[in-house]
Chains A and B, each alone.
Chain A
């Protein structure tokens, strides 16, 4: 009958109802999911920072000293009157809408717990606007410079802390020997070889480095006296970092700049390292943090000043630091009630405690960082190795080909096995059979590596498969061996994709609890692990334990602070990996 109609009235109509219904249903579902997650995170943040007790005056002060200057900075960087008008409209209109909606809900529907209309305004309007403006502002030159500097400062501190944490469990004396005997000679040979185009020196670098590493392990017990920890960190980390920074600046043709960029952070780091003890900070970690923050920052500042474009942006860290300081002074002078956040310096530097106010996450953070570092290395190396083998080396037919296919199918199936089962495997294999001990960091790392290995392998295979065959044939035709083709052409091209998969997999590993419970990891330990075979706890375990405490302070404040810490570390880790990936992609 439809045909009859269409004959009468032109082409007629085709029904699109199902498509439109599907479109809006899926849109609604995603929005509902996001809103639910957003509300959860808002409440977690409110609990962690005790924002429910923040007075309106306190919020207003920091809004004026911190948020408004930051927004102005971004607007200045964007330099677009249309954006300025839009932002002003959203902030002003949002205030009215949120306040009215909040009042209406409170009056007619239900009282909203632990949330004032000011806070709701901050979370619903100001936070997204700030994020949007940060994005828009970072595309202007001034903003890019500001965020670049900020990123290097924060990233340097984070990486410095992570490296310092790793040295809690790794023997710095072995590292000292390995660096002096292996890494340094190998790097020197490599640098010399690439500069003079002497292939033999470059080829010799790897064996020299390996021999040095083996010698280091062997000599560790033989050598009796070592320099102090501070000297070791200075010699093995701070000096090389400063040297690399100076070299980068020198390559831009500035001798004086190179001396300053290398020398000043090095001097600061040395001074910081030796003085840290007097204020109760760990000297070696302070030294590493200052060196890892200072040198990249100095290199960046030199580059910006050298380029002469967007120099104003360098003021962004000052703007933010100054905002926090001024805000604190005003609040102090005004005497308005300030919130008492659960997530404070004490929380991340102290051990768990019976009382909620003194509870800290430090041992669990160290445990998680160590496990994740090991898992990242293990799963990356094993995952890439396996996927290269499966994609580049195995034959497609014959007995080997069938075996490969069997392996492929099984790897895909392994990815679907529940994590508890992997916990059982870790318990049986690593803890019992190999004797790595129950609930030790090394058992946990190996178990979690096994858990995410299938995901890493599958995504790395996908990335390797997407490298065009043209490139392989081009390399083969030049007379490259399979290994040379893989190393020089396939892996560099597949690297961003491999990294993406690894990031996702690591995100899963850092949040895993079930396998840790199975291998006997403690929910609470009171001191940070001191070796790979120490008992340890991880952040999700500790958070889970706290959630079961009877006191409300634990269940709300302390748990929320733990969740925020976990999320910050996860986001930081992923952010670093994404930056690395983007850099690799740009390199192409």
Chain B
């Protein structure tokens, strides 16, 4: 954490992307914590998916979770909004704090929790409804009492989709292209105004152009929301995130630091091997 300044001048970046553009001038230190995990262990049956992870994720920043397949990063993401509850064999030990409260406390209603945390999945999954109904879905189920149309417009603008769909709000969300569908899902996630947005490899099913649009969008979202993104794409993590957490096999959090630090001068040799492509 302390030695970043001494290293930046002499060292080459481990990957060629310009890390600074992604950070958007946001500094990753000294802000409030949005989500924190303490001694988190997750098991699927007998198999341990997350091994003693402790992490503090800052508010209104983009935090990337990277690591090889099966390292537990998606599992970690799903712990935050308790989507793991849906998996019967899944068992969680330890704390995940959100808004100063352990979300695994017995008095926490997971449904109420999820209303404060938006989620975007790997494969775009718009509902087979009109674009308007897709975006208004969260408002509808939460009994939103304000102007729905206005909120739909705001959310679509927030997801950089408004100009493309404003004349076809009543056509099906499935008629859109893959990239548009994913932005529709982002609009759907931000419509109820959550505090945190979880993204599970949101661009891995998209072509590079669509993916880069989503990346730009994520950058903008961090102005208002805490974004936690799982990605397999190292360049993407470097471009868009402020903080990066590297998970390695066995569900261990190996290193967690400012993105620039992780990509330019990681502490651990294994992390360096991973992000330079020597394994994983």
Q: Does A252 lie at the interface of the complex (its beta carbon under 8 Å from any beta carbon of B)?
A: no
A483-511 at interface with B (beta carbon < 8 Å): 484, 488-489, 492-493
Contact B174 A588 (CB under 8 A): yes
User: A412-443, CB under 8 A of B: which get 1 and which 0?
Assistant: 00000000000000000000000000000000
Report chain A residues within 8 Å CB of B185.
Answer: 474
What distance in Å separates the Cβ of B4 from its nearest Cβ neighbour in chain A?
A: 36
The reply to whether B127 and A475 contact each other, CB–CB distance below 8 Å, is: yes
CA distance A471 to B149 in the complex (A): 23
When A and B form their complex, what is the total count of cross-chain residue pairs whose Cβ atoms lie within 8 Å? Answer: 81
A197-210, CB under 8 A of B: which get 1 and which 0?
Answer: 11110010000000
| A479–B192 touching, CB < 8 Å | yes
Size of A's binding interface in residues, CB under 8 A? 26
CA distance A468 to B123 in the complex (A): 12
Evaluate contact between A473 and B83: CB separation under 8 angstroms: yes
- For this complex, 29 residue pairs linking A to B, each with C-beta atoms less than 8 Å apart, are A197-B148, A199-B144, A200-B145, A396-B88, A468-B125, A470-B121, A471-B125, A473-B125, A474-B126, A474-B127, A474-B185, A477-B118, A478-B118, A478-B137, A478-B138, A478-B141, A478-B192, A479-B113, A479-B114, A479-B115, A479-B116, A479-B192, A480-B137, A481-B111, A481-B141, A484-B141, A489-B127, A492-B128, A493-B128
| A395 contacts partner chain B, Cβ-Cβ < 8 Å | yes
**Bound state CA distance, A360 and B99, in angstroms?**
76
B249 at the interface (CB under 8 A from A): no
Q: Select the residue from A199, A489, A493 with max chain B CB neighbours within 10 A.
A: A199
Query: Within 8 Å CB of B189, what residues of A?
Result: 477-478
Residues of B within 8 A of A474 (CB): 121, 125-127, 185, 188
Query: Does any Cβ of B come within 8 Å of A397's Cβ?
Result: yes
**Cα A198 to Cα B139 with chains together (Å):** 12
Known contacts A200-B145, A396-B88, A588-B128; decide if A478 and B114 are in contact (CB<8 Å).
yes
Give the Cβ gap from B142 to chain A, nearest Cβ, in Å: 7
Q: Which residue of A lies closest to B133 (CB)?
A: A488
Q: Are A588 and B172 in contact (CB under 8 A)?
A: yes
Q: Is B167's beta carbon under 8 Å from chain A?
A: no
Q: Given the complex of chains A and B, what is the CA–CA distance between A488 and B149 in angstroms?
A: 19
A198 CA / B129 CA spacing, docked (Å): 20
A561-576 interface bits toward B, Cβ cutoff 8 Å, 1 = contact, 0 = none: 0000000000000000
A477 to B, closest residue via Cβ: B119
- Partner pick for B145 among A198, A397, A476, A492, CB 8 A cutoff: A198
Q: CB < 8 Å: which of B112, B127, B129, B149 contacts A479?
A: B112
Q: How far is the CB of B81 from chain A (nearest CB, A)?
A: 7
Chain A residues at the B interface, C-beta cutoff of 8 Å? 197-200, 203, 395-397, 468, 470-471, 473-481, 484, 488-489, 492-493, 588
**Min C-beta distance of A396 to chain B, whole Å:** 6
Which residues of chain B come closer than 8 Å to A395, judged between CB atoms?
88
Bound complex: CA A484 to CA B138 (Å): 11
Beta-carbon contact of B83 and A476 below 8 Å: yes
Chain B residue nearest to A481 (CB atoms) is: B111
A203 touches B86 (CB 8 A): no
* B11, CB-defined interface residue at 8 Å: no
Residue pair B86, A488 in contact (C-beta under 8 Å): no
Complex alpha-carbon distance, A203 and B137, angstroms: 15
Does chain A have a CB within 8 A of B25? Answer: no
Contact flags B166-197 to A (C-beta < 8 A → 1, else 0): 00000010100000000001001100100000
Task: Tell me the minimal C-beta distance from B121 to chain A in angstroms.
Answer: 7
A493 closest partner in B (C-beta)? B128
CA distance A477 to B84 in the complex (A): 11
Contacts of B172 in A (CB 8 A): 588
Nearest B-chain residue to A492, judged by Cβ: B128
* Residue in contact with A478 in the complex, picked from B128, B144, B146, B188, CB distance below 8 Å: B188
With known contacts A474-B121, A480-B141, A493-B128, A197–B149 Cβ distance under 8 A: yes
A471 to B185, CA, bound (A): 11
Q: How far is the CA of A479 from the CA of B148 in the complex (A)?
A: 18
What per-residue 1/0 map shows which CB atoms of B22-64 lie under 8 Å from chain A?
A: 0000000000000000000000000000000000000000000
B13 shortest CB reach to chain A, Å: 35
B122 nearest CB across to chain A (Å): 9
- Determine the chain A residues whose CB is within 8 A of the CB of B142 once the complex forms: 479
Tell me the complex Cα distance, A80–B172, Å: 34
- Within residues 138 to 156 of chain B, which ones have a CB less than 8 A from any CB in chain A? 138, 140-149
CA–CA, A199 and B83, complex, Å: 27
Contacts of B192 in A (CB 8 A): 478-479
**How far is it, in angstroms, between the C-alpha of A200 and the C-alpha of B144 when the chains are bound?**
9
Q: Which residues of A contact B141 (CB under 8 A)?
A: 475, 478-481, 484, 488
Chain A contacts for B115, CB-based, 8 A? 478-479
Contacts of B145 in A (CB 8 A): 198-200
> In whole angstroms, how far apart are the Cα atoms of A203 and B144 in the complex?
12
Residue in chain A with minimal CB distance to B144: A199
Q: What is the bound-complex CA distance between A479 and B140, given in angstroms?
A: 11
* B100-138 with Cβ < 8 A to chain A: 111-116, 118-119, 121, 123, 125-129, 137-138
Q: Which residues of A contact B81 (CB under 8 A)?
A: 477
In the complex, besides A471-B125, A478-B119, A484-B141, 9 extra interface pairs with C-beta distance below 8 angstroms are A197-B147, A197-B148, A197-B149, A203-B143, A473-B83, A476-B86, A477-B83, A478-B137, A488-B127
Q: Which residue of A lies closest to B128 (CB)?
A: A588
A489→B127 CA distance, assembly (Å): 7
Note all chain B residues with C-beta closer than 8 A to A489. Answer: 127
Beta-carbon nearest neighbor of B191 in chain A: A478
Q: How far is the CB of A328 from chain B (nearest CB, A)?
A: 48
CB closest residue in chain A, given B81: A477
Tell me how far the C-beta of B91 lies from the nearest C-beta in chain A, rounded to whole angstroms.
Answer: 13
Q: Which residues of chain B are within 8 angstroms of A488 by Cβ–Cβ distance?
A: 127, 137, 140-141
Which residues from A are CB-within-8-Å of B121? Answer: 470, 473-474, 477
On chain A, the residues within 8 Å of B119 by CB distance are 477-478
A203 to B111 CA separation, bound complex (whole angstroms): 20
Question: What's the Cα separation between A481 and B147 when bound, in Å?
Answer: 23
Alpha-carbon separation in the docked complex, A476 to B114 (Å) = 8
A473 in contact with B127 (CB, 8 Å): no
B83 to chain A, nearest CB (A): 6
Task: With both chains docked as a complex, state the minimum distance between the C-beta of A285 and any C-beta of chain B, in angstroms.
Answer: 38
Q: Which residue of A lies closest to B83 (CB)?
A: A477
Contacts of B127 in A (CB 8 A): 471, 474-475, 488-489
Which B residues are CB-close (under 8 A) to A484? 141
Give every chain A residue within 8 A of B147 (Cβ-Cβ): 197
Residue of A nearest to B119 (CB): A477
Interface string of B74-94 (1 = CB under 8 A from A): 000000010100101000000
CA distance A493 to B121 in the complex (A): 20
Kindly report which residue of chain B lies nearest to residue A487, judged by CB atoms: B141
| A478 (CB) vs chain B CBs: closest residue | B138
| Contacting pair B128 A480 (CB below 8 A) | no
CB neighbours (8 Å) of B116 from chain A are 479
> Which of A200, A396, A476, A493 gathers the greatest number of chain B CB atoms within 10 Å?
A476
CA distance A518 to B140 in the complex (A): 50
CA distance A588 to B175 in the complex (A): 10
Minimal Cβ-Cβ distance residue in B for A588 = B128
Q: How far is the CB of B253 from chain A (nearest CB, A)?
A: 23
Residue of A nearest to B123 (CB): A470
Contacts of A468 in B (CB 8 A): 125
Q: Is the CB of B111 within 8 A of A480?
A: yes
Closest Cβ of chain B to A280, distance in Å, is: 49
* In the complex, residue of chain A having the shortest beta-carbon distance to the beta carbon of B174: A588
Nearest 5 pairs of A and B residues by beta carbon:
A479-B115, A477-B119, A479-B114, A470-B125, A588-B128
